[in-house]
Structures are given as C-alpha cells and as structure tokens.
C-alpha cells in the first residue's frame, strides 16, 4: 500500500517535468524576400572548342571573358576523358578588363579521333 501511495505521489510531483515543449514558431512559413542577383564572376569561360592539332592530338580552345574593368588572373583547369584515358591540365590565365582571350590546351596524350568518338571535357577554376 505504501508503494502505491509513493508511486502516486511521484507521478504527481514529476507530472509537469515530462511534458514535451510545444511548437513556438509561426504557423505559416515566412514570405521569401526579393531574390538577390548572382555575383558577377571576374573571369568566365564562355566557349570550349575542340580541334585536331597538326600531329593528330586533341587541342582544346577555351574562350575566357573578363566582365570587370580591371585585369584579372585565375587558374583554369581543363579535364578530358577519351575512352579509358583521363587527363587534365591547369594554366594561369590573365585577361585585361572588359576583354576576352582564347587559351589553348594541347593534350598530346589524347588522340583527336579517340576523343571525337566518345570523349568529354569540362572546365573549372582552381
């Protein structure tokens, strides 16, 4: 009998301590604000072209544009996959403000014919 009384007293004393907190935030999600414009990148690759070099290897020509008024330098990476061959090259590119420039990457270890059948390439800034 004492156990029942002790159990009832414990439940009564601890009853308020076991409640989980209720929701405290707004019932509706906040309204999104005006979208912000994406930042203007200093240098952008605007075109990637592939061509066959004189000796038959792959040549990639990247057109890089500088949208700012100041001269900018960044490191450009070109990755190439042709069949099982995967390779990359990196080069520092300097472009005067408000101009564009072609940057040539020669991949001597990749034949143009191998690439033109099922190859892929991508560019990125390092």
Q: Could you write out the DSSP letters of every residue in 9-58?
A: HHHHHHGGGGPPPPP-S-SSPPPP-PPPPPPPPSEEEEEEEEEE-TTSEE
d(CA 13, CA 108): 81
Predicted confidence at residue 49, as pLDDT, reads 96
What is the pLDDT at residue 30? Answer: 62
How many C-beta atoms lie closer than 10 Å to residue 100's C-beta? 15
* Residue 22 pLDDT: 67
Query: What pLDDT is stored for residue 68 in this prediction?
Result: 93
Tell me, which fold does domain 43-116 have in CATH? Immunoglobulin-like (2.60.40)
HSE-up of 54 (CA within 13 Å, CB side)? 0
Domain borders along the chain are 43-116
Sequential pLDDT tens for the chain (126 residues):
676 776 666 666 666 555 566 667 667 766 666 665 555 568 999 999 999 999 999 999 999 999 999 999 999 999 999 989 999 999 999 999 999 999 999 999 999 999 998 899 999 999
pTM over 0.75: no
pLDDT at 50: 96
Predicted local distance difference test score (pLDDT) of residue 10: 66
pLDDT for position 31: 65
The pLDDT value recorded for residue 36 is 57
């Amino acid at each position: 009998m004492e156990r029942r009384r002790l159990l009832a007293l414990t439940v009564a004393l601890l009853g308020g301590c076991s409640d989980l907190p209720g929701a405290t935030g707004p019932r509706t999600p906040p309204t999104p604000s005006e979208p912000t414009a994406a930042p203007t990148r200093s240098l952008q690759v605007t075109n990637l072209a592939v061509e066959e070099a004189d000796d038959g290897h792959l040549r990639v020509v990247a057109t890089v544009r500088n949208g700012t008024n100041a001269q900018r330098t960044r490191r450009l990476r070109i990755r190439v996959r042709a069949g099982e061959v995967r390779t990359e090259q990196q080069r520092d590119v300097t472009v005067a403000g408000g101009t564009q420039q072609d940057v040539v990457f020669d991949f001597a270890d990749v034949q143009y014919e191998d690439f033109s059948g099922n190859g892929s390439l991508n560019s990125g800034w390092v």
